Amino acid sequence: MAKIILPLAEIQVRNAKPRDKPYKLFDGGGLFLDVACSGSRTWRFKFRQKNGKENTLTFGRYPEISLLEAREKRLEARRLLAHGIDPAKHRDDAKRLALEQASNTFEKIAREWHANKVPTWCKSTAKNILRRLEVDIFDEIGDRPIGEIRHRELIAVLRKIEQRGAGEVAHRMKAVCAQIFSYAIQCGLADRNLVVDMRDVLKTRRGSHFAAIDADELPAFLDALERQAARMYMPTRTALRLMLLVFLRTSELIETPWSEIDLEKGEWIIPWQRMKRGRLTVNPDMTNHHVCLSRQALALLRGLHAITGRSKHLFPNQRDHERPISNNTILVALERMGYKGRMTGHGFRALAMSTIKERLGYRHEVIDRQLAHAPKDKVASAYDRAQFLAERRKMMQGWADYIDAVVKDSHR
């Protein structure tokens, strides 16, 4: 007949004194209080594993763990056993998981995510995203386990960015954090993407286009460019005039190496890998872009070649000739002309699009191809580019002649 064990009373546990030898006070169901010679009292649980071997699980010391709490732990362990789970292994796995989660901080996971994405980004994008994380996010929550971060913590970080007047940056970092949490969920390190529920925590952004002048403002702009010409470096003057004549994206222009231009043939072909749509990771547009040089643009390039032709780029950086000038060079030049907030590098594209359509009468599709926009008909995209090439050359010459006529009219 099995021995009947009477449950312990709280007073028995409290009054358990040390003896010459360690002894045990049993509560039943495998739970007992281990009393050491030193006087320490520890709750333990004895159970039998699947293979029949006995094992002992430690619950903690009394009085930190009370009799009631020890019984609750016993009940939890017996439930695990009833489901075929070893409570000792379950405890070790839980400890291991807790340590792993504590080590998987937001900064660690963010850097892993960033490293995985780097091959799909251009260098400037990768650099800018990491810098913004380091400046705005890591100092605030970088050392927090990603699975423990709460909504209010992340909202406070994003609003701090917004409150300094950087609303656009706050929205961008919110989007970046959403991707980082998504990555953590896929890696089994977080259960929820906090950013999904943050649609209205930041101030709504007003949609806006890049600042650009219109056709009626072109004469005044050309006059300002001519008046400021003497105060600019010759390459900077040429960059602004080429932006006006060929209306490339700023980065596509300033990063151009001389190797892409054949001054003898008057050709400028940009490899597709350097174009915006060529850098897409999914279905990149692998069509080289023909800039279609007018006589005026070709004359500017020949004059520029006499000055920077020995450098790698059309517009070499003054401090490091192996690198091109920065986008900021164009913006600073426009600011000195008095066009801060009124015109940007991208604004030259908008100006050309609207003016060529309205004043020169060219079809939208032809201008769109020259702007290297994505054609709506993907299947016919390569054919259309070749089909419009002759018309685009004619259009670009007409655009350059139109600008010359504007300058002459303004001098009358």
- What is d(CA 308, CA 302) in angstroms, rounded to the nearest whole number? 10
Sign of CA dihedral 179, 184, 187, 188: negative
- Give the catalytic positions in this structure: 249, 276, 346, 349, 373, 383
What is the phi/psi pair of residue 315, to 5°?
-125, 80
Whether the CB-CB separation of 195 and 178 falls below 8 Å is answered with: yes
- What is d(CA 332, CA 313) in angstroms, rounded to the nearest whole number? 20
> Per-residue DSSP letters for 205-270?
PPP-PPP---GGGHHHHHHHHHHHGGGS-HHHHHHHHHHHHH---HHHHHT-BGGGEETTTTEEEE
Q: Which amino acid is at 239?
A: A
- What is d(CA 16, CA 39) in angstroms, rounded to the nearest whole number? 8
Angle, vertex CA 315, rays to CA 313 and CA 321, nearest 5:
65
Token readout for 131 is: 């810098």
In order of 64, 326, 369, 401, the CA distances from 333 in angstroms are: 71, 12, 28, 24
Give the chain's radius of gyration (CA, Å).
36
Sign of CA dihedral 11, 12, 14, 18: positive
Count of helix runs (H) and strand runs (E) in the chain = 17, 7
Strands 54-62 and 41-48: antiparallel
In order of 52, 133, 159, the CA distances from 165 in angstroms are: 67, 17, 10
Interaxial angle between packed helices 234-246 and 218-228, expressed in degrees from 0 to 180 and rounded to the nearest 10: 160
Q: Compute, in degrees rounded to 10, the torsion defined by CA atoms 121, 259, 395, 303.
A: 120
